[in-house]
Chain A
């Protein structure tokens, strides 16, 4: 047993987190910053954070992940990291020449209270920021919130530093992308194109973290929202935030700054969340839903109907981020499955409210978010009464093996399988992908473990 010490008996833990279902802010800020074209993320802290964050994103995407760091030493940690950041800015523009440096902070620079505005102003005064280049920042203390908070802070900073209102409103809808895969952003853009809606998607990691191999390393790959598009978001007529935890801040900031009204929807995972996204986009971009999309939806409904027998009543344990767990659980319920244990290290009232609503007809369901809502606790629940399926990041494979339970990889990080950044989980198409993954997990398990006389040629 890999996790032999995990036993069903729970104690009331007040201080110890074991096997977290979250990580810290800056990795989210780094990820989001990669969705701005020509941008180099910068970690203002000691260099270990930056290496860890780059490594984890690389393990997940199997792609280069570039970022610089202020490389604090003990001296800087006591007397402030101003000189380090100013020197960083100088070195980065001289050597790596990005259009934008997007700095974020760590628990180190936040604890000592470095004033980012003042330091960046000093760098500008010292002539370290070339003409036409920009240094933006967000504060991402690791001891507040989680990686999702860091993502939200970075996206919000894009608005704060770029969005401009020229009072010439355009018939464009901003789409603020919550934490999802580049494949999902590509799918959302495809759907918008099918609807013939004029949109600006930010951040946009497609063509950044799924770049081609062609013999050249592109420090700043072809993808990413351009700064021109980012500026233009202030003139759009409406904003749709896709995923409340990761985008609502940016939507509010944009409304306050440029008077662009907004609506926040779920990440379009599964049938109903995709329906709502399509209807929201159709309404706010003032475009009809084309037949092609209605047909896509119909194909998904067909697949679900065909698969009902294998899904009905199956108990599922899930962990991850609220923005994906909420629509994912809703999708599972729409498949007549039972998400019985749901855990997110990211806290927030909305998670509890939405889960309460989605799971109201599953009285045995337990869900928890926030501190110590960790995978150890979830595993203890599983020990008390088993589940049929696990859905979550790679860390679930240890539970899947111990409990001999089918397992679908979903979320961040997926370090042990490639290709997830190519296959969308959003939209009707993505829902079909996800459904096929779930079915295959069940059917492969069945084929491997059932008595020989029960092996079936067909379903």
Chain B
């Protein structure tokens, strides 16, 4: 692949925008920008997708059921709709879970659906939904049942919330049953589904169990970590090693009870800002739990996040323990990093992933000496790009206005101030502690790097053709497109069945996987020997 071509924004923007119909081009131009970390430019994000452009985005149902609630093992998640939605969200995200005993509930390997037929569309599906809940209870005896609405449900007027309430009454409120209005057409992407999921987690699960359990004094929540490929397992072990109690993870390897208990933590650490910042805010407002944005992707980033937690609790013993863990783990990390870096350093990457990983994984690539030429989200909002400071200036448009905003107030009995304002200010200076803050993707990207929101297939095609990155990071729909062009694609949604990539052990896994991808020899064989003449000349010429 050889020398990196300089990213020339105008040239790229012209090449793609010029191809679109005029109005579409004008709109897309605002979503394709050059970064400047010192003077962060405004990007257009979280607006409706251009029909026909070949987006990689999914829907609200995917964001709600697929992403946020999918990883919790002991809720029976019933999809109320025709069969497709339940089928496609059945085991397709790699949310791993591990029960503590063989008798504990794990419903993740099952797909539950009301399998709506045309008669249900015509006469309504509420009775069928009720019956489906009864059958689920009889067969699975769950402590909680969640109902997810799909496109037609909203249109025909089935009220899943009323059904949930009636069914709870039928079971004398002994089973927690709740619904989600996450019809696929709401909002403009998966993002609306996150918001809807967050609201219902708050209304139906958080704060229902006040017991303070666990063996460690210092208690944290990990928000926006979904245990893809075992990421949360690694982090659970790490917290344990440091002597920090992990009360609830939203929602990797989670249980109903961990959510119910989340308000007993003293700090929330937010990984995926996009999907869970609503819960982070609600926990702060209601119960006084501050949150900090952290990143456990990258060994350096992990060390930094642990130090922030230790500084927050301000206990010499904890700090010493954390430093010990960091030293011990970093030694292992460095061995692998030193071994692989000759294969990776100087290479280039592009990252186009959901709503957070396009940022987080740049840390790992930095550690490998790989430069990020371009990055963007499918469904990030402006605050994920530009930082939360722009939130007051974000205009809510007509497509997003109907997503329910819930008002949360201080819990009169259980609100507790965890930390004084003065102490927070001191921490901000001491360890770069960002209290209820996230600086966004652009602050960490180089000047001149390309930032593109809701990348279309055409734009991806041109990016690869014009700049030939050594590795492209995206998802399953993009993977084989890039590979046909001779560029390896690392899936950063499902990790190509690899991982975990979080924490120190995750960094080691990632280094090895990227080194493998950078050294795979098959790419030299794309042309048959009898077709190769030209290619050989081209390589020597550059």
Identify the A interface with B (CB < 8 A). 1-5, 11, 13-20, 22-24, 26-27, 42, 45-49, 51-56, 58-59, 62-77, 84-85, 87-92, 94-96, 106-108, 111-112, 141-144, 146, 211, 213-218, 345, 371-372, 376, 395, 398
Contacts and interface: CB of A to CB of B under 8 A. Distances in A.
Interface residues of B, number: 91
Interface string B438-468: 0000000000000000001110010000000
A112 B83 contact: no
B110 A395 contact: no
B369 interface: no
Contacts of A18: 110-113, 139
Given A17-B114, A142-B83, A42 B52 contact: yes
22 contacts: A5-B105, A11-B135, A15-B131, A16-B78, A20-B83, A20-B115, A23-B84, A27-B84, A47-B55, A47-B59, A49-B59, A51-B55, A51-B58, A52-B62, A54-B477, A64-B481, A69-B49, A71-B49, A74-B186, A85-B51, A143-B120, A217-B482
Nearest to B493: A55
Interface in B45-100: 48-62, 78, 81-92
A77 B54 contact: no
B165 interface: no
Contact of B477 (A16, A58, A76): A58
A303 B465 CA distance: 50
A112 B152 CA distance: 9
B132 interface: yes
Contacts of A92: 52
B526 A214 contact: yes
Contacts of B105: 5
Interface in B109-132: 109-118, 120-121, 128-132
A146 B87 CA distance: 12
B537 interface: no
Nearest to B497: A416
A371 B119 CA distance: 13
Scoring A5, A11, A22, A73 by chain B CB atoms within 10 A of each residue's CB, the highest score goes to A73
Nearest to A68: B52
Contacts of B216: none
Interface stretch (B169-177, B242-250, B296-304, B483-491): B483-491
Interface of B: 19-21, 24, 48-62, 78, 81-92, 102, 105-107, 109-118, 120-121, 128-132, 134-136, 138-140, 150-152, 154-156, 183-188, 398-399, 402, 456-458, 461, 475-477, 479-486, 526-527
Given A54-B477, A89-B52, A91-B20, A345 B83 contact: yes
A48 B102 contact: no
B151 A77 contact: yes
B523 to A, nearest CB: 9
Nearest to B477: A54
A20 B86 contact: yes
Contact of B50 (A5, A91, A143, A215): A91
Contacts of A84: 51
A13 B185 contact: no
B16 to A, nearest CB: 9
A94 B50 CA distance: 13
Most buried by A among B151, B402, B480: B151
A91 B110 contact: no
Contacts of A22: 83, 87
Contacts of B49: 47, 69, 71
A309 B186 CA distance: 59
A23 B83 CA distance: 6
Contacts of A371: 115, 117
Contacts, number: 258
B132 A143 contact: no
Given A73-B185, A143-B120, A214-B526, 12 more contacts: A15-B128, A22-B87, A55-B88, A56-B88, A66-B457, A67-B54, A107-B82, A108-B155, A142-B81, A143-B118, A215-B485, A215-B527
A58 B475 CA distance: 11
Given A55-B477, A107-B81, A217 B54 contact: no
- Closest 7 A/B residue pairs (Cβ): A48-B59, A24-B84, A88-B52, A91-B52, A15-B131, A52-B88, A142-B82
A19 B54 contact: no
Contacts of B477: 51, 54-55, 58, 64-65
A58 B88 contact: no
Contacts of B82: 24, 107, 141-143
Contacts of B486: 213, 215
Contacts of A75: 398-399
A415 to B, nearest CB: 8
Contact of A66 (B54, B84, B87, B156): B54
Contacts of A142: 81-84
Contacts of A143: 82, 116-118, 120-121, 152
A312 B152 CA distance: 49
Contacts of B21: 90-91, 94
Most chain A beta carbons < 10 A, residue from B83, B183, B184: B83
A70 B484 contact: no
Contact of A68 (B53, B106, B110, B484): B53
A51 B54 contact: no
A76 B109 CA distance: 35
Contacts of A19: 90, 110-111
A4 B106 contact: yes
Nearest to B50: A91
Contacts of A87: 50-52
Contacts of B134: 15
Given A107-B151, A143-B116, A88 B19 contact: no
Nearest to B91: A395
B320 to A, nearest CB: 42
Contacts of A395: 90-91
Contacts of B112: 16-18
A20 B111 contact: yes
A216 B527 CA distance: 11
A95 B152 contact: no
Contacts of B482: 217
A107 B52 contact: no
Nearest to B23: A87
A74 B484 contact: no
Contacts of B115: 17, 20, 371-372
B441 to A, nearest CB: 22
Contacts of A56: 88, 92
B118 A95 contact: no
Contacts of A26: 84
